[in-house]
Amino acid sequence: MSRVGRKPVKIPQGVAVEIKGSQLIVNGPKGGLVQKIRPELKIEKKADELRVLRRKKTKLSDVLSGVTRSLIANMIKGVVDGFEKKLELKGVGYRAALEGEKLKLNVGFSHPVIIEPIEGIKYQLEGNNLIKISGIDKQQVGQTAAMIRAIKRPDPYKGKGIRYRGEVVKLKPGKAAKVGAEEA
């Protein structure tokens, strides 16, 4: 059996967990999330912890038990603390602005890129070149950050573009650097 799938998930104070058929409903101070549970698994609730159990001992159910346990742990962490990703804009004239709930990006195109608000996701700006994306669903926060980063990925020659906070972009040598290195 999966080692991750064996670990129980602790339910902290203020979090309500409900099992309805094949759905797991988690409600907490920041909101609520719902996860569908595969038929190969069953969730057992005892006092202040949840366990993921396999109905049959198959390779698929072993794999699913670990994934499901991680999803449940992320749901509980999300409704208590939430998740966030930070993106940096690097480049001359690259900046972000909030217009109501919409995020407006000027990233070197002839027009600003407007990103409509996504339900459950909040955008915040720190300065005009740092975007903070937050929400209770880890997958949705990561997907939104990846979607925004894909608008203008970091350039491998100059490093301009949108990158995750702390991401190191390995720069390639330009054409002039290659020619100069061959002649010397």
Residue 169 inside a domain? The answer is: no
Residue 114 inside a domain? The answer is: yes
76 and 29 co-located in one domain: yes
153 and 104 co-located in one domain: yes
Residue 178 inside a domain? The answer is: no
- Using pLDDT thresholds of 50, 70 and 90, give the confidence band for residue 65: very high
Q: Express each pLDDT in 109-168 by its tens digit.
A: 999 999 998 999 999 999 989 999 999 999 999 999 999 999 999 999 999 999 999 999
111 and 63 co-located in one domain: no
Check residue 24 and give its pLDDT: 94
Check residue 181 and give its pLDDT: 56
β 49-54/121-125 pair status = unpaired
Check residue 142 and give its pLDDT: 96
112 and 46 co-located in one domain: no
87 and 76 co-located in one domain: no
Residue 172 inside a domain? The answer is: no
Q: Print the domain residue range for 97.
A: 83-164
122 and 156 co-located in one domain: yes
Q: Is the pLDDT at 180 greater than 80, yes or no? A: no
Q: What is the DSSP string of 119-157?
A: TTEEEEESTTSEEEEEES-HHHHHHHHHHHHHHSPPPTT
Alpha-carbon span 121 to 102, nearest angstrom: 11
Task: Give the H or E element holding residue 68.
Answer: helix 59-80
97 and 141 co-located in one domain: yes
Alpha-carbon span 68 to 43, nearest angstrom: 10
33 and 87 co-located in one domain: no
Q: Note the pTM of the prediction, 2 decimals.
A: 0.86
44 and 93 co-located in one domain: no
137 and 102 co-located in one domain: yes
Asked if residue 90 lies in contact with residue 159, where contact means CB atoms within 8 angstroms, the answer is yes
β 113-115/49-54 pair status = unpaired
Asked if residue 53 lies in contact with residue 102, where contact means CB atoms within 8 angstroms, the answer is no
Q: Is the pLDDT at 31 greater than 70, yes or no? A: yes
